[in-house]
Structures are given as structure tokens and as C-alpha cells.
A and B are shown apart, each in its own frame.
Chain A
């Protein structure tokens, strides 16, 4: 279900679907979604805070606050609000287990 998350789609719903993995599960997004939109369309958080108990879901959406860096299965993090989702991305809300 595409609208089970935090975000509500109000316009531009007629776009190609894109599939990506979120914590190992297949999710749908739309072509042109940022990683932030894609993740929050089906979930409520992007990551957990390293300094507190609360989950985080981004803050400024213009690449300034750095709240939305998310993990990928293969390691490197990306800034969710400035990166467009790509078919087959493997995103995580927690660090990979083999990360040092």
C-alpha cells in the first residue's frame, strides 16, 4: 500500500512506479520521488537518532540540516531529501550489521 506511511500524496500521482528495498522488504515509489518521499510514503521514519531514543524523518528538505542521511545495504549513506529514488535501491533505517 503506497500511502501507509507518514506522507500523503496530493498531486502528481500519475507517474511510473519504481521498486526499492526498505529494510529488506520490497516497496513501491514513484519515478521522481526523492528517497525521503519514497521511504516516508511507506514508513514513518528514515533512521533512528544516534543521540536519543526518537526516530527521525528529516527536517529541512533542502540539504541543509543533514537529518535525513540514510543507510544502504552496501554501506555508503545518502542524503534522502536531495537524492532521487532509483529502481532497485536497497535502503535501510538502521546501519548494516557488518558496518564497523
Chain B
């Protein structure tokens, strides 16, 4: 068992990026501290069920089982041998000048760092649909986590709507597990998907299984749909109203709806750490600036979907590369990264193809009726966001203070992109001109009891 090395390197997140970053540092003889919200290392895509669950990695992760297993074993071995310090079930809630404020099982504490690797991952990029505040509406990622980590379906009759690789994947996983999937509704048209396919073809081995999965959904799958409204009664969701590609109105009775349009990088800590951001036209979101190795600013490195939305394979590589950058900056011998950088470039082309094939539904958001709830935390409506823009102008943070959009407990994670789209439309400018909500600490709700000390 060794102690955290000096200089002290802290990694936030133990998904594919965080695990590979840790392994690279451990191989170089350093002892990193890994802070992770999970009960066990793995992240979301390779999330592990609690102890006592019996499904095999094959059943849990399908074609990715070997990758998941390799990461889990690697991390557990490093932790068991005491070559890193693992803080599970711990949230970093603030970053300031070499200090992380961490909320764990034992309350709040301060963790110091000399170098910080942020591998914070991503969550579903969601857009509001009228009625989405009702019980029974979940993110696509939630449907997958429920199945993987708990062995459950979140409803008896399920509709999935949105766009992106996860839409098809979650649909087929639920079907295979025995859930009743009534419809899988893709807001991207076939034509749009073909346009992006040129990018996907850069990685045909991945693109082809995607189409095979799609075939398994059969007539449940519809491309080019427009969501209309989610019906609900006092208990929750009762149906999904949508228009098919031909404009025909359809209603699918259901008690669970999973929504999501690809991914949104998790960047709150990156923001608090003082990193710069740039609006990515294709991903329709702000992403942190970093060099190709993941260096964002002095002593801060970014890896994985929190920085570049390349998926799990890309995250593993980016984790290795960011750790190599850290080693280089410490003047230590650096493993060769040339091949990894070429792989990242290839994955980037593929990811940009995906982004084009499964786009953010900007037009749908701009057309939302005034009474649609945009912020699920505080039920702030599209009308209130538009009114805030009329009163205060087209700047994100001003509209935030006027309408409270983005001020709820999720801190804008699930409303910011839609809100900005609405503000831009109302102000007659582009979403990138509206700016982004400033990150605020604590980035997770922090019970005041955690900060009380017995005197």
C-alpha cells in the first residue's frame, strides 16, 4: 500500500477515461487519487450492478463485455494493491485553486491537488416535449441504467423517442430483456441519417451493428417523427402523441417514455476550474477547449465525454493520453501516444458523422408552445423564457435570473440547451451568441448538515 504521490494527482470520475488515466499514472509509478460518484468503478456505460447480482458481463454489456470486464479488473487490481486511492460514492462539488470540495459518505472534506484530470463523462442531451414533467418520463440513459444496474424496466409499456445511437441500443436491450417496447421514434429522417453515414462509414465495423440492431426493432422503429405531446393522468404518463414522417397523427398508449438526443458533456467542474469553452456547431453545445492531449489550462487535463463526445472507446484512449500529457508536464518519461492520437482523430470523424446523422432537434424546440415546461426542476415554461428574453435581452444569464430557468436543482443540465435555443429564437440571434449559464458551486445539492462541525 502506497500513499498518494507527490505531486498529488487527482482524477475525477472512474469511467473508461478515468480508469485508463489512473492506469497510465500507476504504470509510471505514481499514486493517483480517484474520486467517483459510483458505488463501484466503471462509469455509466460500463456500470456495475450492486454486489449479489448474478448476470454475466456478456448479459450486461453484450458485444462490449470484454472491454467492460478488462476495465473493471484493471481498476479493482490497482485499488486492491493500494496503487491508487479510490473514493467511491463521493461528489466533487467545487473546485478552487488546487482544492476540491468533496461530499462523501462521511460529510464534506477538502482534497488538495497539484494536477487535476477531469473525466466527468456525459449525460443524455434532452429536449422538452409538452408533458415531459410527468412521472414516467425518463432519459434514455435512465432506461439503460435501470436495466443494467437493477434488472428492471421503468414501465410496463415503453415508448422511446429522440435520436442517436442510444435510442436503438436501449430499444433492443429492453426487447431482449423481455420488456414491452411499443415504439422507438427517431426524430431524425432517413435522409438525414444517410447524410451522416459518410462519417459513420469511417468506422464501418461500428456502423453496421447499429443497422443490425435497428432491424431487430422491426416495425416498432419509425424515422423522421415529430413529437406532439405526452398524455398523462394523475398517476403519470398514459400515452405519446406524435406525427409520423408522412405527417399523420399517431397516439401510442404507454406508461413510460424514454427521451434523449445523443449526449451532453458534463462540464460544471471544468467551468469552475476556469477552463475556456467554445460553441460546437455540430454538437450544438459548449465544449471545453483543450489541446489534442487534453490539456485545458495549467495543471488541468480533460478526458472522455466530458471534453469530446467520442463514446467509451474514445474515452479510454483520451484517458491514457491526458495522463501522458500530465506525465510530460511533470518531466517524467512518457508512453508513446502517436497511435492513440491517430485513433482519436478517426473516432472524431466517426462521432461527427453521428452528430450529423442524429441532430439536436432545434426547430422542434423553437416551436414549443408557450405552456411547455422547459425546466423540470421548477416548472419554468417556454413562455417564461421568451418573456425573460423580451424583458432582458438575448443573454443566457440574464434570462436565467429573470425566469429562473437553469436555477433549479439540476443547475441547467437538462434545460440549458433548450432554453438557449428559445432565447436565441426570441432575440433573433444564434444560440452561440446567447452564451451559456455560468456554473455555480456546489455543482450537486449539498445538505447543510454535511458542513456542520461539532464544537
Chain A residues engaging chain B, CB cutoff 8 angstroms: 6-16, 31-34, 37, 40-41, 44-45, 49-52, 54-67, 69, 76-77, 79, 82, 84
Contacts and interface: CB of A to CB of B under 8 A. Distances in A.
Given A32-B50, A33-B150, A62 B137 contact: no
A42 to B, nearest CB: 12
A13 B177 CA distance: 13
Contacts of A8: 152-153, 155-156, 179
A31 B52 contact: yes
Given A12-B49, A60-B414, A65-B414, 16 more contacts: A6-B154, A6-B256, A8-B155, A9-B151, A10-B177, A11-B177, A12-B55, A16-B52, A44-B236, A55-B234, A57-B236, A59-B139, A62-B44, A66-B410, A67-B376, A84-B39
B413 A32 contact: no
Interface string B65-82: 000000000000000000
A62 B151 contact: no
A66 B409 contact: yes
B327 interface: no
A34 B150 contact: yes
A65 B410 contact: yes
Interface of B: 37, 39, 44, 49-55, 59, 89, 91, 123-124, 133-139, 141-142, 145-147, 149-156, 177-179, 232, 234-236, 255-256, 266, 373, 376-379, 408-410, 413-414, 444-445, 447, 449
A75 to B, nearest CB: 10
Contacts of A54: 133-135, 232, 236
B181 to A, nearest CB: 12
A60 B142 contact: yes
A84 B150 contact: no
B179 A59 contact: no
Contacts of A55: 134-135, 234-236
A37 B377 CA distance: 21
A32 B377 contact: no
B179 A7 contact: no
A69 B445 contact: yes
A49 B377 CA distance: 8
A58 B376 CA distance: 11
A12 B445 CA distance: 31
B54 A32 contact: no
A51 B378 contact: yes
A84 B50 contact: yes
A44 B255 CA distance: 10
Contacts, number: 147
Given A6-B255, A8-B152, A59-B414, A44 B54 contact: no
The 3 closest A-B pairs by CB, nearest first: A12-B151, A11-B151, A66-B409
A58 to B, nearest CB: 7
Contact of A59 (B59, B235, B376): B376
A76 B137 CA distance: 26
A64 B44 CA distance: 12
A52 B147 contact: no
Contacts of B133: 49, 52, 54, 56
Contacts of A6: 135-136, 154-155, 236, 255-256
A6 to B, nearest CB: 6
Nearest to B268: A64
A16 B52 CA distance: 9
Contacts of A58: 138, 142
Contacts of A65: 139, 376-377, 410, 413-414
Given A45-B135, A61-B142, A62-B145, A10 B153 contact: yes
Contact of A11 (B55, B135, B410): B55
Given A12-B151, A60-B123, A62-B142, A44 B235 contact: yes
Contacts of B256: 6
A58 B410 CA distance: 12
B164 to A, nearest CB: 16
Given A15-B52, A32-B49, A32-B50, A61 B379 contact: no
A61 B135 contact: no
Contacts of A16: 52
Contacts of A76: 447, 449
